[in-house]
Amino acid sequence: MHKLALSGSGYHLPVSPPPTAPGSPDPSRASSRTRRERYAPPSSHYLDEHKREHLTPAIGLRFEREFQLKDVLALPEGDERREATFEELAYLISLHGVCAFPAQDLSPEDLERLALALGRASGAPADSDLHIHPTAALGEDGRPKVGTISNKADSRGARINFKDERSELASQGIHTDISFERRPARYSMLRMHTLPPTGGDTLFYSSYAHHDKLSAPMRAMLSGLRARHSGAMFREQARRHGFDLHLGPRGAPDNVDDSFEASHPVIRTNAVTGFNTLFVNQCFTERIEGVTFDESRALLDYLFKLQAQSHDAQVRYRWSEGDLCIWDNSACLHCATFDYDEERSGDRTVFVGEAPAFDAERGRSRREALASVV
């Protein structure tokens, strides 16, 4: 088992003090090769030269605006510095849940290249590719276009939205991306280009912290259970507005058909860091399997409450134009805030990862692993 070091690696513990205030996959484009030992931090430290700050103790890291990801993308493929930097970035995103990169000069095409490079560097399966959302329109080449996330529906009435009944509880929309897929998202990235004068913040929630808040007996019970996730609401949206859904493959050969349903472990081990997470969300998780309906309801009610009400495990990110956030969907959840009327739009890509798994042998609590380092 590798060891995390307290200093020098820059991969954990505050680099600066936290604030006190509150299509078909193309195998040639995706490699599963990672040079790291499983779950180990990368051994290179190219990113140490760039200042970054923790957004909160539990989740979030923001780089200085002078760090432009375009410069990393510009390095030739196969270049040692390029490969190592992407490995470091992938590990940092998975470790901190979400990383923010202010004022990034990136086109939608750059974003696609970035998603593929990061996905490869993170050791995702060789057949992982960019996700095509069921409601997405395809480009003329049949490939997914970099999606636009917006509060406005497109001309067909399609929008990546989850509930038709809007709750007054803003936490209603907490989710991890596309957990209704058998192979859900690893990294999602959103570069915001159009913002309202105020409002539209995104909240991110640490799934590591949620796991670590569970007692040992509760962890033991939940680690033997799976839950059913469903995206059936997109079928209803398509039926109502009369558009066709994309039936796949959607970023992985397993992500096909129109069931939009998958069974995943309730406790999931993050494939990059080896830390355990709580992997349910109130948008897509419908039922814990193997227990009674009432037991499932009671357990999910508590777990959703834990996620929504643990504000010590959250960060609320206030966007500026050009900001890019990249998050690991097996390390955090997120939720947009619909408190504005003006347009709010950005470019979005999602890179599909592995089928979620719980590693009973090597999966660890993030908090306990970091606390054990001396």
Site of interaction with Fe ion (CB under 5 A): 177
The nearest distance, CB 77 to Fe ion, in angstroms, is: 29
Q: How far is CA 131 from the centre of its chain?
A: 12
Instruction: Name the helix (H) or strand (E) containing 194.
Output: strand 185-194
DSSP-derived secondary structure for 212-257: HHS-HHHHHHHTT-EEEEE-THHHHHHHHHT-----S--SSTT--S
Determine the Cα–Cα distance for residues 128 and 124; give it in Å rounded to an integer. Answer: 6
Q: Quick one: 82 or 268, whose CB is closer to Fe ion?
A: 268
Q: Quick one: 46 or 162, whose CB is closer to Fe ion?
A: 162
Determine the Cα–Cα distance for residues 71 and 81; give it in Å rounded to an integer. Answer: 11
Q: Quick one: 177 or 359, whose CB is closer to Fe ion?
A: 177
Locate the DSSP E strands across 233-299: 261-265, 267-269, 276-278, 285-288
The nearest distance, CB 175 to Fe ion, in angstroms, is: 6
The nearest distance, CB 277 to Fe ion, in angstroms, is: 16
Q: Quick one: 114 or 325, whose CB is closer to Fe ion?
A: 325
DSSP bridge partners of 262 = 229
Q: Quick one: 177 or 323, whose CB is closer to Fe ion?
A: 177
* Sign of the alpha-carbon torsion through 370, 363, 40, 15: negative
The nearest distance, CB 131 to Fe ion, in angstroms, is: 11
Q: Quick one: 83 or 177, whose CB is closer to Fe ion?
A: 177
Question: What residue number has its CB nearest to Fe ion?
Answer: 177
Instruction: Give Dmax (Cα) for the chain.
Output: 60
Q: Quick one: 110 or 177, whose CB is closer to Fe ion?
A: 177
Determine the Cα–Cα distance for residues 126 and 111; give it in Å rounded to an integer. Answer: 20
Determine the Cα–Cα distance for residues 326 and 99; give it in Å rounded to an integer. Answer: 5
Determine the Cα–Cα distance for residues 235 and 232; give it in Å rounded to an integer. Answer: 5
The nearest distance, CB 177 to Fe ion, in angstroms, is: 5
The nearest distance, CB 335 to Fe ion, in angstroms, is: 8
The nearest distance, CB 59 to Fe ion, in angstroms, is: 16
Q: Is 170 helix (H, G, I), strand (E, B) or coil?
A: helix
Is residue 346 classed exposed, middle or buried when 0-12, 13-18 and 19+ CB atoms within 10 A define those classes?
buried
Q: Quick one: 42 or 173, whose CB is closer to Fe ion?
A: 173
The nearest distance, CB 79 to Fe ion, in angstroms, is: 32
Q: How far is CA 325 from CA 26, 262, 291, in A?
A: 26, 27, 37
DSSP bridge partners of 348 = 147, 190
